[in-house]
Each structure stands twice: as C-alpha cells, then as structure tokens.
Amino acid sequence: MKKSILLLALAFSIVTLMSFDTKNEQRNSTENIKESDYCDGWEDGYCEGWKDVKGQYAVCPVAPVCPVPEVGKDGYKGGYNRGFKAGMKAAKKN
C-alpha cells in the first residue's frame, strides 16, 4: 500500500514538472522580439515613405498591420524598408 502511494506521488510529481516547458516560453519571447522590431520598423518606414511623397510636415496616417516578414529580412531595417515602399505607394494613390 505504501509503495503504491509513493509510486503514485512520484508519477504525479513527474507529470507536474513536465507541464512546465521553459524552452517553449523562451522561443516565443524571441519570436515576439523579432516580430516587434520588424513591426516597429514597418510603422516608422511607412510614415517616412508617406512624408517622402506628401512633404516633410505631412501627418502620417495609421500604418496598416505589418505583413509577415520576408525570409532574412525580419529585423527593424527589413520592416522599415518594406514599410517605406508601402507608404510611398499609398501616398501616391491619394
């Protein structure tokens, strides 16, 4: 009886410890940082692209939701460059 209770407690402890996956949390936080940098660059670039066409003192519109980054261009600079082009294109339409 004592052995079965001890075995059950040990199994419960192992299952509980396995439910905490710290590697997955670290992976998600790294992905969020990359995505956040890209989206920050997208918004800044969109505004600057808009101003490049409309003038230095133009009021920037709200940038559209940032798109999925291209492979190898997932940092701030990649988002800025892509946002700049999109902002220029949008400003020329208006």
The residue ranking higher by pLDDT, 42 or 1, is: 42
Give the number of other Cβ atoms within 10 Å of residue 8's Cβ: 10
Model-level pTM greater than 0.75?
no
Q: Is the pLDDT of residue 11 over 70?
A: no
Q: How far is CA 28 from CA 42, 58, 72, 77, 81, in A?
A: 21, 37, 18, 21, 25
Share of the chain above pLDDT 70, in %: 67
Residues 33/75, Cβ–Cβ less than 8 Å: no
Provide the pLDDT for residue 23: 53
Q: Which of 5-9, 16-20, 21-25 has the lowest mean pLDDT?
A: 21-25
Enter the tokens of residue 17. 């410890």
What does the longest C-alpha to C-alpha distance in the chain come to? 82
The residue ranking higher by pLDDT, 38 or 18, is: 38
